[in-house]
Amino acid sequence: MMEKERILELRKELERYNYLYYMKNAPVISDFEFDKLMRELEDLEAKHPEMYDPNSPTQRVGNDTNNEFVQVAHKYGMMSLSNTYSEQEIRDFDERVRKGIGGDEVEYVCELKYDGTSISLRYEEGHLQVASTRGDGVKGDDVTANVRTIRTVPLKMQGEGYPAEFEIRGEILMPFAVFNRLNEERLEAGEALFANPRNAAAGTLKLQNSSVVAKRQLDCYLYYVPGEITLTATHYGNLMKAREWGFNVPPYMEVCRTLDEVLDFIHKWDVDRKNLPVPIDGIVIKVNSIKQQMQLGYTAKSPRWAVAYKFKAERVETRLLSVDYQVGRTGSITPVANLEPVHIAGTTVKRASLHNEDIIRELDLHLHDMVYVEKGGEIIPKIVGVDVEKRLPDAPAIEFITRCPECGTELIRNEGEANYYCPNEDHCPPQIAGKLEHFVSRKAMDIEGMGSETIDLLLTKGFIRDIADIYTLPAKRAELIGLEKILYPESYVMTSIPLSRVIYAFEIGVKNISAKNAEVLAGRFGGLPGLASATKEELLALADLQFPGDREKNINKILEYFRMPFNEPLERLKQAGEVDMIPLDTVIYALDIPGIDFHKSELLSVKFDYIYRLYTATADEIAETDELSREDAERVYRFLQGKDKFIRKINTLSVYRLQEKSVDNLIAGIEKSKQRNLPEFINSLGIRYIGETASRNLARHFKDLRVLMDATFEQLTEVEDIGDQMAGSVVRYFEKNENREMMERFLQYGISGMIQEEEGESDQLAGMTFVITGTLSLPREHYKAVILKAGGKVSDSVSSKTTYLLAGENAGSKMQKAQKLNVTILNEKEFNTLMSL
């Protein structure tokens, strides 16, 4: 067979295999065989570039080229649906429909309302030509290169009989499983988490690098063929035709002949939506007959023949176990509820935000209350109500703390503010750590190699006490190499922990064990001792172990972790278990001592402050523990005397150690940071209310750190966008002798303290203020940098001083405010034209 003929045959074969695998869930060849055929096609296409086809299966992996998105007009307008929120509004819609078609019988198609980003796919002669976003409904962005990477989008239509020109609409979605994995990876990398799958899908679709899009594993559900395309007499019939041609038309739809059937469909999916693989936020009801759709027509914004019923945010009931209080880097105290784990909106939830004292009082929250939790669009769910009838007798009310949970300082609450603060900003441990993490962050001094674990180690060992001490570290290279600290697993407050969760609890220090991998390891080895003695061959044989990077390298890291030398176990144990580092009951419970549940672990933790004290206790001493039987005490004693088993389990408390290469990278990052400009340095100080924009304005106005330090309140308020609150905060910061002394130390260590002219800076946008909002094809930082280098300013809020609003997709309240104030609104293309990009 000629090579060119083989290329065509391979393309056809691979598309069929892809369809069977992703659409029919019926693979007929192995992944290995599929990959082998794909490599053959790649090799042949490389030899015959004249055979290039953008719809070849080889294009699904994307490429590293940065593609500018261009606007394309929709042949048929992409309208939005009007929303309803009650059954009565559904009945009103039914009445309007029946009246509009002259009282004839009507049939509805009920579908799920997918919570993603809208897409339109256009095919010519069965081949995908253009994929475009909704945009303004008249034209949208051409995202074809990215959509080609989505496996459930056919690059070539299947079967026969399809029209020469065909268009179909639907939604690009990020499945919950992919979203959760992606957020786990971002958390490990220290990156900001995606708020919800919808935002993640929209942001991914607008990435300029299609190879990155391919790795995100988006999905596409299709649900509408524009009525102008005549396939069958009904909407449902059109979708069945589209399914025959290889399109991913979801199965979650129903033809309803009565209003009661419509309402039954709504009620069913309001309950069952939690079992879906993708997010939905309601139900769409469409008139089935295309003829009746044409009779009803359209308003200026939406069709009269369809409506969306929006679900209320998913609400579940669970028990409140306790309330923790977290201290932020500015000293703000945030209460967080610990809950019995419960499934909501695609994820398992065990913590919920309580925000502040006022919320606790409004809820009248008591310990062990049954509470209602909603997730909505937030990463951290919130408690929205309490079932008072299920309250336990004599359950104590939750009282907001009066002293800092970390340093014991009495809390303060400023007039007009909702939050309490710990005023001990210079000596409160989490505030110090928070200031250090902010100081080294990318938008501040950008010191690589100094993550939260390194900061914690340096603080614990006394190498740094404040942010200026960072610049003393290069002179201590020899002392830093080999510096180590035992890390502890997360605390799980529950009565039962599956082994996979125990393994995952030890994930601090084993960044290669995801929750999914923990389940795989638990299923294979049955216990921590088995895992600790696993061989490399055994781990390599576990095909379900999946890693974002090199598989063998990650498995080696796991082996290294569980093979850590423990030559002085007793000395390590003496250092290991202080209650203020991790609840001792969690350590005891994680040891999985037969017959010792979480309650008994708590009892033991009350009796013994340190794990070493429990380890060295006699059976009689253990038996003195309140409520613990003699039999339980004997079990604990026998378990702890099995030194090998016990030490293997303690071994899973990770040791974090600075290696020579890590130390050298850290020192290089510190030296490099001395070149940062004055705006970034001011931002790095973490002065309350002074963020990135305010720091830049202060630097540009005063140009010299010493001048800023001596500025009066009145001089500060002369700076653009610096109000009374900000000015007062700056004055208070530099009034403190310790802060002024710290500035002198910075200058001695090599920080210039003077603003430097930025390369490429111009006055093109001098006097103009921009606000950036919505989902853009590039990160906001890109546009911010362009504006600032051209002499413009970037503000966080829209006001009468705003010159332009740069708006991407899903622009919300800022867009509305800009319209009210007659602020000029630019899309990305218009902004690029303005900047001559």
Query: How high is the pLDDT of residue 110?
Result: 97
Query: How high is the pLDDT of residue 26?
Result: 65
Q: Any alpha helices (H) in 446-567, and if so which ranges?
A: 452-460, 477-480, 499-505, 515-525, 528-532, 536-540, 551-562
Q: Which residues contact 749 (CB under 8 A, 6 or more apart)?
A: 468, 471, 472, 674
Average pLDDT value for residue range 763-779: 81
What's domain 79-310's superfamily in CATH? DNA ligase/mRNA capping enzyme (3.30.470.30)
Q: 399-435 in b/e burial notation, b at 16+ Cβ within 10 A?
A: ebeeebebbebebeeeeeeebbbbebbeebebbbbbb
Which of the residue ranges 120-134, 157-171, 566-580, 783-797 would you say has the lowest mean pLDDT?
566-580
Are the CB atoms for 409 and 424 separated by under 8 Å? yes
Q: Which of 27-41, 445-459, 675-689, 786-800 has the highest mean pLDDT?
A: 675-689
Digit-coded pLDDT (tens) for 226-264: 867 779 999 999 999 999 999 999 999 999 999 999 999
The answer on whether 194 is annotated among ligand-binding residues is no
Q: Is the pLDDT of residue 502 over 50?
A: no
Average pLDDT value for residue range 150-159: 91
Question: How many CB atoms are located within 10 Å of the residue 529 CB?
Answer: 16
Q: Which of 82-96, 344-358, 745-759 has the highest mean pLDDT?
A: 82-96
Question: How many CB atoms are located within 10 Å of the residue 165 CB?
Answer: 12
Which of the residue ranges 11-25, 171-185, 484-498 would you say has the lowest mean pLDDT?
484-498
The answer on whether 310 is annotated among ligand-binding residues is yes
Query: How high is the pLDDT of residue 279?
Result: 87
Which residue would you say has higher pLDDT here, 525 or 670? 670
Which of the residue ranges 361-365, 511-515, 783-787, 824-828 would you say has the lowest mean pLDDT?
511-515
The β-bridge partners of 308 are 83, 284
Query: How high is the pLDDT of residue 829?
Result: 85
Same topology, domains 79-310 and 769-834? Answer is no
The answer on whether 270 is annotated among ligand-binding residues is no
Query: How high is the pLDDT of residue 533?
Result: 67
Instruction: From 722, 314, 666, select the one nearest 480 (Cα to Cα).
Output: 666
Digit-coded pLDDT (tens) for 555-596: 887 776 555 443 233 333 334 333 233 445 555 655 667 777
Query: How high is the pLDDT of residue 1?
Result: 63
What is the fold, at CATH topology level, of the domain defined by 769-834? Rossmann fold (3.40.50)
Cα angle at 837 between 773 and 786, to 5 degrees? 50
**Placement of tokens 């602020």 in the chain:** 823
Question: How many CB atoms are located within 10 Å of the residue 759 CB?
Answer: 6
Q: Is the pLDDT of residue 282 over 70?
A: yes
Q: Is the pLDDT of residue 597 over 80?
A: no
Q: Is the pLDDT of residue 472 over 70?
A: yes
6 backbone φψ class: left, alpha, beta (φ>0; ψ -120 to 50)? alpha
Which of the residue ranges 297-301, 336-340, 432-436 would you say has the lowest mean pLDDT?
297-301
C-alpha–C-alpha distance, residues 832 and 613, integer Å: 67
Confidence of residue 709 (pLDDT cuts 50, 70, 90): very high
Which of the residue ranges 278-282, 325-329, 685-689 would you say has the lowest mean pLDDT?
325-329
The answer on whether 407 is annotated among ligand-binding residues is yes
Confidence of residue 430 (pLDDT cuts 50, 70, 90): confident
The answer on whether 286 is annotated among ligand-binding residues is yes
Query: How high is the pLDDT of residue 653?
Result: 47
Average pLDDT value for residue range 681-701: 90
Query: How high is the pLDDT of residue 741?
Result: 95
The answer on whether 32 is annotated among ligand-binding residues is yes
C-alpha–C-alpha distance, residues 686 and 329, integer Å: 8
Are the CB atoms for 608 and 579 separated by under 8 Å? no
Which residue would you say has higher pLDDT here, 94 or 315? 94
Is there a catalytic annotation at residue 113?
Answer: yes
Which residue would you say has higher pLDDT here, 604 or 420? 420
C-alpha–C-alpha distance, residues 712 and 721, integer Å: 16
CATH value of 674-755 in 1.10.1040.50, 3.20.190.10, 1.10.150.20, 2.160.10.10: 1.10.150.20
**Placement of tokens 């001990």 in the chain:** 424
Which residue would you say has higher pLDDT here, 341 or 240? 240
Digit-coded pLDDT (tens) for 524-558: 765 555 666 678 888 888 877 777 677 887 788 77
3-state secondary structure of 324: strand
Average pLDDT value for residue range 120-135: 92
Are the CB atoms for 520 and 545 separated by under 8 Å? yes
Instruction: From 186, 449, 439, 408, select the one nearest 329 (Cα to Cα).
Output: 439
The β-bridge partners of 383 are 373
Are the CB atoms for 413 and 331 separated by under 8 Å? no
Average pLDDT, the chain: 81
CATH value of 3-52 in 3.40.47.10, 1.20.120.520, 1.10.287.610, 3.90.280.10: 1.10.287.610
Average pLDDT value for residue range 394-423: 88
Q: Is the pLDDT of residue 353 over 90?
A: no
Query: How high is the pLDDT of residue 760?
Result: 44
Query: How high is the pLDDT of residue 492?
Result: 24
What are the residue ranges spanned by the domains of the chain? 3-52, 79-310, 320-424, 428-483+658-673, 499-656, 674-755, 769-834
Average pLDDT value for residue range 758-778: 75
What is the fold, at CATH topology level, of the domain defined by 320-424? OB fold (Dihydrolipoamide Acetyltransferase, E2P) (2.40.50)
Class of 428-483+658-673 in CATH: mainly alpha
Active-site hit among 75, 99, 113, 375:
113
Average pLDDT value for residue range 788-806: 85
The answer on whether 80 is annotated among ligand-binding residues is yes
Counting residues of the chain whose pLDDT is more than 70, the rounded percentage is 81
